[in-house]
Each structure stands twice: as C-alpha cells, then as structure tokens.
Amino acid sequence: METSASLEIAKHTLLLFGIVLAVGTFSGLLARLARVPDVVVFLLIGMLLGPGAFGLVDIKADSAINQLILIFGSSYILFDGGASIRLKVLKEVWITVVVIATLGVLITTAITGAAAHYILGVPAIVALLLGATIASTDPATLVPVFKQIRIKDRVAQTVMSESAFNDAMGAIITFTLLGIAMGAGEFSAGDALADLAKQAVLGIVIGGVLGYLAALLISHAKFGFLAEYAPVVSLMAVIGAYMGADGLHSSGFMAVFVFGIMLGNQESLGFERVHHDEAIFEDFIMYTALIMRMFIFILLGSQVDFALMNQYLLGGAAVVAVFMLLARPATVFLCALPDRRAKWSFKEMLFMCWTRETGVIPGALAGMLVGMKAPGAQIIASITFIAILTTILIQATTTKWLARKLDLLVDE
C-alpha cells in the first residue's frame, strides 16, 4: 500500500512537472512575441494554473519539492547572473554595490516600516518586520530581465550584484527583528554587523575557491581534464557552493553568485576554454536557467493567496506605493550619490530607483514567518504578495521602455 501511494505521488509530481514545462514553453514564446520579460508571463500563467483559478498546479509553499525548486533554481539563476558580471565593471562600482546592499536595506526597511505603521496601524515592530521582509531585491527576477534587455553594463551589473548581495542583509534584519517581536532578544548593531561580515566573507571565500577549482578543472591547459563535463561540473559546484556556505551559516546565494563571477571571468584567472566547448557550455547554462525561471515563477504565481491579499488590499497597495516611489529612490540617491568614483548620472540613478523587483527571497521569508507564527505574519505575507505582483508586473514590463527613455539601452 505504501509503495502504491508513493508511486501515485511520484506520477502526480511528474505530471505537474510536465504541465509546467509545456505551459512554460508556450509562455516563453508568448513573452517573446509580446516583447516583455518572460518572468512576467510565467507569473501570470502561474496565477491562472493555481488553486485560485483552474487548479492544475497545486504545490504547497512549505512542501519539500517547492523548497528544492526555490533553492536550486534561485542558486542557478544567481550563478548565471554572476557569470555575466565583468570584474572590470565591478571594480568601478563596488562601493555603490556594498553600500546599497547593506545601508540601503536598512533605509528601505525604515521608510517602508514607518509607512506600514501609519497606514495600517500595526505595531512598530511588526511594521519594521514587514519592511525588512520586502527590503531585498530579487536576483531571480532581475538577472533574467537584464539577460533579455541589454542595458548599459555598469548599471545592469550594479543592480544584479546588489540583488545578490542584499539577500543576506535582508535575512539578518528580518530575523533580528523577529527575535525582538517574539521576545527572544534585543537588537544589537554590533552583532548584526558581525553576522553580516561573517556571512559575506565566508560566502565570498567559498564561492571564490570553488569557482577557481571549477575553472582549473575545465579550462586549464594541463589540469582541465573535465572540459567535456563542464555542465556537470557547474551543477555540482552550484550545489556545493550553496550547501557549503549554508552549512557554515553564511550566505549560500552569495557563494553561488561569486562562483559564477569566477567562472565567468576565467580570462582574468589565466584560463581559456576552447571556443567549441564554450559555446556548448553557454547553451547549457542558458536553457537550464530558462527551465529554472519557468518553475520558480509559475509556482510562485500558483501560490498567490487572493483571499489573503484582499484582506489588506487598499492599505497594502498604499504601503507598496511608498515602498516603490519613496523608499527605493531615497535608498538609491543616499547610497549612490556619494560614490564619487562611480560618478553616477541622474539618469542612471533614476533607472536604478525604478528597477528593484521583489520576488522569490521576500516570498520565502514571508512564508517562513507564517510558518513560525510570527506577530503580524498574515499581514506581512499579504503585503509581500502585493509587492511581488506589483513590482514584477509593473516594473519588469516597463524596464525596456524606461531604459530607452533614459538612453541607457545598448544596441543589439
């Protein structure tokens, strides 16, 4: 009986995967015809397939299979994003990236929290917890958008790098505030900074070491005996980077992003792949990242709780409006303007103000708060979904238009 039940679960899961791949393929074609980022269409299709509409896809947010897809999918998309970063560009803008991914998250949390406190009338600690949950940007959304829309290098790579590095800060602030809200601790700026430094350093070291070893094994003239297995090596290393960093209580996402940077800048490390092998490897990464986007955003859309969103729709929309139109611009201008080395133009900063989609990581944090029965968790989850839908559907679809208006598009 147990074997039969297991078999039925396996067949049901396989059917769901087939549905996601089939629908995702046609959704990708639709996105290309409509000339919008595919994550937007995936999210909308997921909402139609979920229990709130047709009910064809119903994978619970707290299920093991969903967590596996989110962790590996986000990690692989981050690796893909890291591989597109150029060290030459990053050296020019690293100060902005560091400041906006640390101090910027605090600024966004404070402004959004103040808005939630006054608009929704919730306790200050719950309002700040909401602000921290949605403060980090989403690399799983931003990386694909910038892969499909060619934006000026230093702007695109700054936004992508920030989205990879600010997840750790967002999680630290969220769980620090959660401890205070549940009476389990007090805020300590020193402890928070020490924890952030530890996560950052360990993540960078683990990702850097694995990235160098992977480049050595697939590209070195003498030791590159795994050149033909470069795709497999990348899969192993992405998993190893995330699990290694997570096991040492540091940022797994930061580790896979740095791993991608190392592998994408092999020339700087003195390695050079054969052109034929490089083309095969890049095709593998491109299609694997596409499949991961399909699963992440179709599942994310299918898990939108419309009833929960409706409870706080008006107040939540007002908070998200402050979040998008006040908190993010204040964060960008306060963090990027003082960076004299980067010499940001007004148009570049204006574009970065608008490009800050919320997605997988904030959604996962909100789900964890609900599971832990945190104070105000239902309100936080509701407004997080409003933020996800609003930023992806509005900001992602207008990215190309705004870049063209600001003269930041790169000719194809």
Domain-embedded: residue 205: yes
Span 225-243, average pLDDT: 84
205: domain CATH number?
Answer: 1.20.1530.20
Span 169-176, average pLDDT: 80
Domain-embedded: residue 178: yes
What pLDDT, on a 0 to 100 scale, did the predictor assign at position 274?
56
Span 371-390, average pLDDT: 84
pLDDT at 387 over 60: yes
Distance CA 326, CA 271 (A): 45
Average pLDDT, the chain: 83
What pLDDT, on a 0 to 100 scale, did the predictor assign at position 328?
93
Distance CA 196, CA 205 (A): 14
What pLDDT, on a 0 to 100 scale, did the predictor assign at position 362?
83
Residue 276 corresponds to which tokens in the numbers above? Answer: 């034929």
What pLDDT, on a 0 to 100 scale, did the predictor assign at position 111?
95
Span 147-172, average pLDDT: 83
Nearest to 13 by CA among 55, 50, 57, 77: 57
pLDDT at 295 over 70: yes
The three-class DSSP label of residue 112 is helix
Domain-embedded: residue 285: yes
pLDDT tens digits for range 108-127: 999 999 999 999 999 999 99
Span 312-316, average pLDDT: 88
Domain-embedded: residue 12: no
Domain-embedded: residue 235: yes
Residue 206 and residue 254 in contact, taking contact as beta carbons nearer than 8 Å? no
pLDDT tens digits for range 6-37: 788 888 888 888 888 999 999 889 888 887 77
| Maximum separation of any 2 CA atoms in the chain, in Å | 68
Share of the chain above pLDDT 90, in %: 18
Report the number of distinct structural domains present in the chain.
Answer: 1
Span 218-235, average pLDDT: 76
Q: What is the sign of the dihedral through the CA atoms of 374, 380, 385 and 389?
A: negative
Domain that holds residue 346: 68-405
Domain-embedded: residue 39: no
Domain-embedded: residue 293: yes
- Per-residue DSSP letters for 179-234? HHHTTS----HHHHHHHHHHHHHHHHHHHHHHHHHHHHHHH-TTT-TTGGGHHHHH
pLDDT tens digits for range 251-292: 787 888 889 888 888 877 777 665 556 677 778 888 888 888
pLDDT at 199 over 80: no
pLDDT at 154 over 50: yes
Domain-embedded: residue 85: yes
What pLDDT, on a 0 to 100 scale, did the predictor assign at position 1?
47
pLDDT at 225 over 80: no
